[in-house]
Amino acid sequence: MDASTLAREQRSRTPAWKRRLARRLLDWFDRHARPLPWRATRDPYPIWVSEVMLQQTQVATVVAYYRRFIEALPTIAALAAADEQQVLKLWEGLGYYRRARQLHAAARHICERHGGEFPSEREAVHALPGVGRYTAGAVLSIAFDAREPILEANSMRVLSRLLAYRDDPRGAAGQRHLWQAAEDLLPRRRIGTFNQALMELGSEICTTREPKCHACPLAQFCPTRLRGLQSAIPAPSRKPAIQAVHQAALVLQRPDGRILLVRRGPGERWAGMWDFPRFELDDVTRSPVAYLQQQATALGRGPVTLGERILTLRHVVTRFRITLDCYAAHIPMPTKAAAPDTLKSPRRPRTKWFRPAEMEPLPMNVTGRKIARFIVQQG
Ligand code: SF4
């Protein structure tokens, strides 16, 4: 659609048209909203936690994590006072751990600057670590009924279709256009409910593939449905090429049975979490086994027997298809020099030896946890 046609359509959206649309959407939501645990409260803290967890993560996955998190840390003050290891452990398996660290930092910020009360002013919310326009709009509108729009993947799809927006909605112009539309369509009351209803419609009815237009409360408002353009709108995103990555993890064991783990430092991936020593193999020009033998010897600071590959894990992270080969390695005799516990050292890597059973309470990434459980199961 060209700009002038779009502008004409925009002009024709009269206040009465918007009121009708909002009423239909709200009525539908009142009848069909899923009873999600964070919808039972207007307290901004649990709403904020749920919104952060829901970024990049499915509702079905989030529910159990949300319940566990709120039970363990029921207030902003409790979150602010918690140890980072506890916060990361509660987040273990959800991925995108930066979200947890920022939530933690923001709770401390709220306790220092706002007396532990989640702020209700726009500027103060935007100043919180990790809180972007979407999260701020969601918490302010849902908890305080502030006149704030939201735009995320589900509402972006619904709005693109309601406006028959043919260009890329993720581009700068598309984002400007859709944020403006999200604001224009806000009703006078029940703003937070309206925002949630838009997202719910995108999640349950106006899905990417085969939207259920026959069950959509906004069908009569939707030019995309009228023109049969559901598969063309929103314009599909260009998928980045998948890149294969080969890595290795070392399970290095001392004669007393303890295993070496590394705590990732600030700025590293999985910062604050524990992991097995991990190595990229793609750029290694010699035999991976010889390379790992050298790495294991350096970590053991003496003779190390590199054993067999004990496990191979395959997983996809964003655009990387990762093959992770895990090798056992043993220090055959006690040596004083083997990598010391360096947890107190400010230098990286920070290492520590653990008995297999001691690894369970540590925060670990998904593949690290799989290796740890494999070791315990194998005795
Ligand atoms: S009518 Fe279909 S395409 Fe239009 S908003 Fe509803 S579900 Fe989406």
Whether 326 and 206 map to the same domain: the answer is no
Atom of ligand 1 nearest to the CA of 202: 8
Mean pLDDT for the stretch of residues 139-152: 97
Whether 184 and 82 map to the same domain: the answer is yes
Q: Is 229 in the pocket of ligand 1 (CB under 6 A)?
A: no
Nearest CA residue ID for atom 1, ligand 1: 219
Quote the pLDDT of residue 267.
87
pLDDT tens digits along 265-302? 988 889 999 999 999 999 888 888 999 999 999 998 88
Mean pLDDT for the stretch of residues 322-330: 95
The answer to the question of residue 233 being in a domain is no
Q: Give the pair of three-digit tokens for residue 10.
A: 């925009």
CA of 40 to the centre of ligand 1 (A): 27
The answer to the question of residue 234 being in a domain is no
Q: Is 206 in the pocket of ligand 1 (CB under 6 A)?
A: yes
Atom of ligand 1 nearest to the CA of 212: 7
Quote the pLDDT of residue 48.
98
Whether 267 and 221 map to the same domain: the answer is no
- Give yes or no for a contact between 149 and 178, defined as CB atoms under 8 angstroms apart: no
Atom of ligand 1 nearest to the CA of 201: 7
Helix axes of 59-72 and 84-91: crossing angle, nearest 10 degrees = 150
pLDDT of 218 above 60: yes
Instruction: Please compute Rg for the chain using Cα positions.
Output: 25
Quote the pLDDT of residue 239.
83
Whether 277 and 137 map to the same domain: the answer is no
Whether 259 and 215 map to the same domain: the answer is no
Q: pLDDT-derived band of residue 335, with 50, 70 and 90 as boundaries?
A: low
The answer to the question of residue 218 being in a domain is yes
Q: Is 225 in the pocket of ligand 1 (CB under 6 A)?
A: yes
Quote the pLDDT of residue 347.
46
CA of 218 to the centre of ligand 1 (A): 7
Cα angle value 235/237/242 (rounded, 5°): 155
pLDDT of 155 above 80: yes
- Give yes or no for a contact between 304 and 293, defined as CB atoms under 8 angstroms apart: yes
Calpha distance 110→293 (Å, rounded): 48
The CATH number linked to 183 is: 1.10.340.30
pLDDT of 134 above 80: yes
Q: Is 25 in the pocket of ligand 1 (CB under 6 A)?
A: no
Atom of ligand 1 nearest to the CA of 219: 1
Q: Which SS3 state, helix, strand or coil, does residue 310 take?
A: strand
User: How many separate domains does the chain show?
Assistant: 2
Calpha distance 108→104 (Å, rounded): 6
Residues of the domain holding 366: 243-378
Q: Is 218 in the pocket of ligand 1 (CB under 6 A)?
A: yes
pLDDT of 3 above 50: no
- For 24, 42, 139, 360, the CA distances from 52, given in Å and listed in that order, are 28, 16, 10, 25
CA of 47 to the centre of ligand 1 (A): 27
More confidently predicted of 12 and 368: 368
Calpha distance 135→49 (Å, rounded): 10
Q: pLDDT-derived band of residue 336, with 50, 70 and 90 as boundaries?
A: low
Residues taking part in catalysis: 51
pLDDT of 341 above 90: no
Q: Give pTM, 2 decimals.
A: 0.88
Quote the pLDDT of residue 2.
47
Whether 221 and 252 map to the same domain: the answer is no
pLDDT of 60 above 80: yes
Nearest CA residue ID for atom 8, ligand 1: 206
Q: pLDDT-derived band of residue 235, with 50, 70 and 90 as boundaries?
A: very high
Mean pLDDT for the stretch of residues 106-132: 97
pLDDT of 6 above 50: no
Percentage of the chain exceeding pLDDT 70 = 93
Highest mean pLDDT, choosing among 90-94, 334-338, 345-349: 90-94
Whole-number average pLDDT of the chain: 91
